[in-house]
Structures are given as structure tokens and as C-alpha cells.
């Protein structure tokens, strides 16, 4: 379900969201992303739309603030991983 770049991004940056590692291996990271129903979106606009659909209050927030949310991981190719 998740490509290698996405799983590696989470594995390398998981401490951005969690106080300690939730996955040590690639397989554990992939399983974790599947279990928590993580989402990959293709643009900043889609990150914004995801938060709106989830009912997250973003009033007054700018693009930069949305991308700095702990649950948003920049994959590095224009896509973003969002951990629900």
C-alpha cells in the first residue's frame, strides 16, 4: 500500500510525532502505517483538504503552519504523509 519512499520517510522521522520509536524496521513501519490508516496526499492543497474533511480547526492558520503539524511528514517528492 505504501511505497518505499513513504515508509522510509516515516521510519526516519517518526520521532517528530511520537516521543519514542514505534517502529525499528521497514516492515514494522509499513505495518504501523497500515494499522493507523495513514494517508499520502500529492500536494499542500490536499493536506489542507484532508484537515478540513477531518474537522480540524485551521482558522487563521497558514500553509506553513499546516505543514509544521506533527502528523504531517514531507516525503520529499511533493507528496505528504499524514498520520491519523
CA distances from 77 to 31, 43, 51, 70 (A): 22, 10, 21, 19
What digits encode the pLDDT tens for the residues 12-60? 999 999 999 999 999 999 999 999 999 999 999 999 999 989 988 777 7
Query: In the prediction, which pLDDT does 9 show?
Result: 98
- State the residue range of the domain holding 29: 4-82
What is the crossing angle of helices 26-35 and 4-13, to 10°?
A: 100
At 66, is the pLDDT very low, low, confident or very high (cuts 50, 70, 90)?
confident
Residue 37 CB partners (closer than 8 Å, separation 6+)? 84
Domain count, the chain: 1
pTM: 0.91
Amino acid at each position: 500500500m505504501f511505497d518505499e519512499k513513504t515508509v522510509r520517510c516515516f521510519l526516519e522521522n517518526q520521532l517528530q510525532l511520537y516521543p519514542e520509536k514505534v517502529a525499528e524496521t521497514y516492515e514494522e513501519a509499513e505495518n504501523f502505517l497500515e494499522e493507523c490508516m495513514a494517508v499520502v496526499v500529492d500536494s499542500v492543497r490536499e493536506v489542507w483538504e484532508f484537515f478540513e474533511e477531518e474537522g480540524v480547526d485551521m482558522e487563521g492558520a497558514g500553509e506553513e503552519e499546516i505543514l509544521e503539524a506533527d502528523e504531517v511528514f514531507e516525503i520529499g517528492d511533493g507528496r505528504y504523509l499524514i498520520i491519523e
